Structure 1
């Protein structure tokens, strides 16, 4: 199965330990499933905005789907297995914008996994000419809404769960949070022999 995965993008040292961020080629449901099996009922509600006892197999297939240039999927993998999933999907008719979504297993909340995923996701999107992210976040999802505020996200007046923000503002907010003076100058997804961004 490891042959289906792109080489590791980067190793991140988080408060919870080291994680590897990998880019899927598409279809690796067995790698995606542990992340969503590790979500509590409340976390599934915050991620999908609907109640479900577990994520259905057909939905897992969608979460593992990759379309080069249009849909990109990252996993955060700890020594014991996958702990986070992140994706962006380019919006039809608006090539400079993409919808973004992230999930982290409950046991790894607050350990920097989500931020590591989002930062890498931002770089991969920027490399594809995407300048803005949109996301859907419930008001009760306070950690995410606080980050959206830091990024200067604009809330859709017709739907207060829909937010739009510039990728550059996101990367700058993460750099500030991490105590870096400026974002990393090198795009880790387009350097070395990592290959083209999916």
Structure 2
């Protein structure tokens, strides 16, 4: 099985300026801590469904975990600070499908970081033979649900689960540019349930 590149670094040119997208080797907690320290109480609630004042260290370790070929993590860096976190985890029994999760520092909402992360994850996933992304989001999280639809996602199951085609997303970004799906970015980014299944997606 082909493994995901562990040291890939790419620069995305966003309207707000250049952002570096760096694949983690695994265990780099500090950039992950920077991203999640920048979430407001509302964003933490949407992500974890609890009013915790900060993200516990055990969650940070989990969010920084990489398993080559199975779980991949990308952070977005601007001016030396980590402002976004994205991950995909290949679904058990469905090797062509992966759950995705994104988080963007509140001060960087609406600047295209979420799309840059999801596009990078899609490119990395496609190289591994993953052709479908899934995620779930709360019904009341209308900005994220609208953003997912602009990314080509469709609703499945009980109305909180979304699926979208990796190749179609990459083709849309190549053809129309990031603004094709990022004209009105979400207030907080989609996420999947963690392996501990502590929360649903925000």
Q: Is TM more than 0.5 here?
A: yes
Q: Is the CA contact 2:21–2:76 (under 8 Å) kept in the aligned structure 1? A: yes
Asked if 1:63 corresponds to 2:63, the answer is yes
Matched, 1:47 2:44: no
SS at match of 1:13: strand
TM (norm. structure 2) is 0.79
Q: Does 1:27 align with 2:27?
A: yes
SS at match of 1:50: coil
Q: Which residue of 1 aligns with 2:120?
A: 120
Tell whether the 8 Å contact from 2:8 to 2:22 is kept in structure 1 after alignment. Answer: yes
Q: How many residues align?
A: 174
Alpha-carbon displacement from aligned partner over 1:108-139 (angstroms, at most 9, x marks no partner): 11111111111000000010000000011123
Question: Segments of 4+ in structure 1 off by > 6 A?
Answer: none
When the two chains are superposed, the root-mean-square deviation of aligned CA atoms in Å is 1.8
* CA–CA distance in structure 1, aligned partners of residues 151 and 38 of structure 2: 28
SS at match of 2:34: helix
- CA shift in 2, pair 1:79/1:99, >3 Å: same
Task: For residue 117 of structure 2, give the secondary structure of its aligned residue in structure 1.
Answer: helix
* Counterpart secondary structure, 1:61: helix
**Contact 1:115-1:174 at 8 Å conserved across structures:** no
Per the alignment, residue 161 of structure 1 pairs with: 160
Give TM-score, length-normalised by structure 1: 0.81
**Correspondence for 1:195:** none
| Conserved? CA contact 2:73–2:86, under 8 Å | yes
2:196 corresponding residue in structure 1 = none
Residue in 2 that maps onto 1:94 = 94
Residue 145 of structure 1 corresponds to: 145
Q: Which runs of 5+ in 2 are unaligned?
A: 1-5, 181-202
- Mapped to 1, the partners of 2:147 and 2:109 lie a distance apart of 15
Q: Deviations over 1:1-40 (max 9, x none)?
A: xxxx7252x1112122211000000000112100000000
The separation in 2 between residues aligned to 1:101 and 1:179, in whole angstroms, is 21
Q: Which runs of 5+ in 1 are unaligned?
A: 181-198
Partner of 1:171: 170
CA drift at 1:43: 1.1
In 2: Cα distance, 1:133 partner to 1:40 partner: 26
SS at structure 2 position matched to 1:119: helix
